[in-house]
Amino acid sequence: MFTTNGRNPVSGFSKIKKQIDGITKIPAWRVHDLRRTVATGLQRLGINLQAIESVLGHTAGSRAGIVGVYQRHSFDAEKRTALEAWAREVDRIVDGKLAKVLPLRRR
């Protein structure tokens, strides 16, 4: 699904991560954190679990065991819808159109 030339998967994540680390100063994060963030964000946007697991490439969870034997749907359309929704959400965040956040009072 993710490719730079239409044939081979994207590679070189560690090199890109080092560049991002040098620019952002985000403490101790891993590439896996991006998967968790996307999964959580998609669920918040109302995307169903099967589509989220398909986006992540999971074969366990809702597609484990006997379900995985009989459930052969690729979820291509659902993955496209999910990733388009996520792209809109990222654009919204980057554009600074965040929801108003109020600080919690300490007790």
Predicted pLDDT at 100: 60
Distance from C-alpha of 85 to C-alpha of 74, rounded to nearest angstrom: 19
pTM confidence score: 0.71
What is the three-state SS of 34-97?
HHHHHHHHHHHCCCCHHHHHHHHCCCCHHHCHHHHHHCCCCCHHHHHHHHHHHHHHHHHHHCCC
Residues 82-100: tens digit of each pLDDT: 999 999 999 998 888 766 6
Residues 5-51: tens digit of each pLDDT: 878 877 888 888 888 888 988 888 888 899 999 999 999 999 999 89
